[in-house]
């Protein structure tokens, strides 16, 4: 452990994440920025979420040889694909949703969330997902055992549901034919594709700081201690392949033990927005671990 630093918010240019995502990396960007390798081939972000680090690299013009973006959340991945292939239709639907929300927020939110009629196409599905994300409690993603989104409405005065300019910027970025978007478990995408010189940023669901702090949203299956161990095994294999690996996780005994052989570790203090109790949102420390010299 060689450093403990406070986070300074980094002002970043557009495009920026089009979803609010638990564990989003926007507040850690200034620290992550210092840890990006000087040279790398392709970029992999297999726990994509809001994609804050990918977009940061795009804004810094650091993606030269393509990128593999993936996540196991099907609705999230569909939204990225629609933002790439059908952004104007997406904007049209979001505009009507935004209007209806303004007329009667709670009624619109719960009708949309609880509707049993499946969206008739991928653009509608993406619009529903983005609208709920922008208006639900804290941007949380949580589904019940039937796979139905069950987060209550958030308290927003005037949420921006349709951020046209940003969606068009995102579309421009994703249209590059060297950018691949996939619905995939992290293991499959990395084992099948990552090779020497590629930069892999891993931001898995965090190991909980306490037994009651586990956030198992994002996907119905969750991410437990066994998954953290499997991930550490995979990191070892990627290290043997000479990939450049940067991983973020919480500062817990399990994570310190799993990555004890990695020399380059930074400890950072963060605010975790996921806790419903504001007083408990402070004082977390996270680890940034890499297998290359910074
Ligand atoms: C901490 S979030 C990533 C946040 C992201 N870095 C950001 O800036 O928004 C973890 C992500 O991992 C995804 N995930 C969970 N289990 C996964 C798995 N087995 N394979 C791939 N993705 C997974 C979740 O859907 C979630 O989007």
Name the superfamily (CATH) of residues 79-153+160-165.
Adenine-specific Methyltransferase, Domain 2 (1.10.1020.10)
Q: Residue-wise pLDDT tens for the chain (294 aa)?
A: 444 444 444 434 589 999 999 888 888 999 999 999 999 999 999 999 999 999 999 999 999 999 999 999 999 999 999 999 999 999 999 999 999 999 999 999 999 999 999 999 999 999 999 999 999 999 999 998 888 999 999 999 999 999 999 999 999 999 998 999 999 999 999 999 999 999 999 999 999 887 655 555 555 567 999 999 999 999 999 999 999 999 999 999 999 999 999 878 999 987 765 554 544 545 678 999 999 988
What is the DSSP code (8-state) at residue 9? P
For residue 116, how far is the Cα from the chain centroid?
A: 27
Give me ligand 1 centre to Cα 107, in Å.
30
This prediction's pTM: 0.90
Domain residues of the chain, as ranges?
4-72+184-290, 79-153+160-165
Q: For ligand 1, what atom is nearest to the CA of residue 218? A: 25
Looking at CATH, the fold of the domain delimited by 4-72+184-290 is given as Rossmann fold (3.40.50)
CA of 24 to the centre of ligand 1 (A): 9
Residue 223 near ligand 1, beta carbon < 6 Å: yes
DSSP conformational letter for 36: S
Q: Is the CB of 46 under 6 A from ligand 1?
A: yes
Substitution candidate for ligand 1 out of 27, 32, 74, 219 with most atoms within 8 A of CB: 219
Question: If we measure between CA atoms, which residue out of 262, 280, 264, 260 comes closest to residue 272?
Answer: 280
Cα 219 off chain centre by: 12
């Amino acid at each position: 452990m060689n450093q403990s630093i406070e986070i300074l918010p980094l002002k970043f240019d557009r495009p920026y994440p089009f979803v609010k995502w638990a564990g989003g990396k926007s507040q850690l960007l200034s620290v992550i920025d210092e840890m990006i390798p000087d040279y790398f081939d392709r970029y992999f972000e297999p726990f994509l979420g809001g994609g804050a680090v990918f977009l940061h690299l795009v804004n810094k013009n650091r993606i030269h040889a393509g990128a593999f973006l993936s996540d196991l959340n099907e609705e999230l991945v569909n939204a990225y694909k629609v933002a790439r292939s059908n952004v104007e239709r997406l904007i049209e639907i979001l505009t009507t949703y935004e209007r209806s929300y303004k007329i009667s927020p709670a009624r619109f939110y719960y009708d949309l969330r609880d509707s049993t009629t499946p969206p008739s196409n991928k653009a509608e599905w993406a619009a529903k997902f983005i609208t709920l994300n922008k208006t639900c409690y804290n941007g949380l993603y949580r589904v019940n055992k039937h796979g139905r989104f069950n987060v209550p409405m958030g308290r927003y005065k005037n949420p921006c549901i349709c951020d046209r300019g940003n969606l068009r910027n995102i579309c421009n970025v994703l249209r590059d034919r060297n950018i691949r978007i996939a619905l995939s478990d992290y293991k499959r995408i990395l084992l099948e594709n990552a090779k020497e010189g590629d930069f892999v940023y891993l931001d898995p669901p965090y190991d909980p700081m306490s037994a009651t702090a586990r956030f198992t949203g994002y996907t119905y299956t969750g991410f437990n201690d066994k998954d953290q161990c499997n991930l550490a095994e995979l990191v070892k294999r990627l290290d043997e392949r000479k990939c450049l690996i940067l991983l973020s996780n919480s500062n817990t005994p399990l994570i310190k033990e799993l990555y004890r052989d990695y020399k380059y570790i930074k400890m950072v203090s963060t605010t975790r927005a996921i806790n419903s109790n504001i007083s408990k949102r402070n004082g977390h420390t996270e680890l940034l671990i890499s297998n290359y010299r910074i």
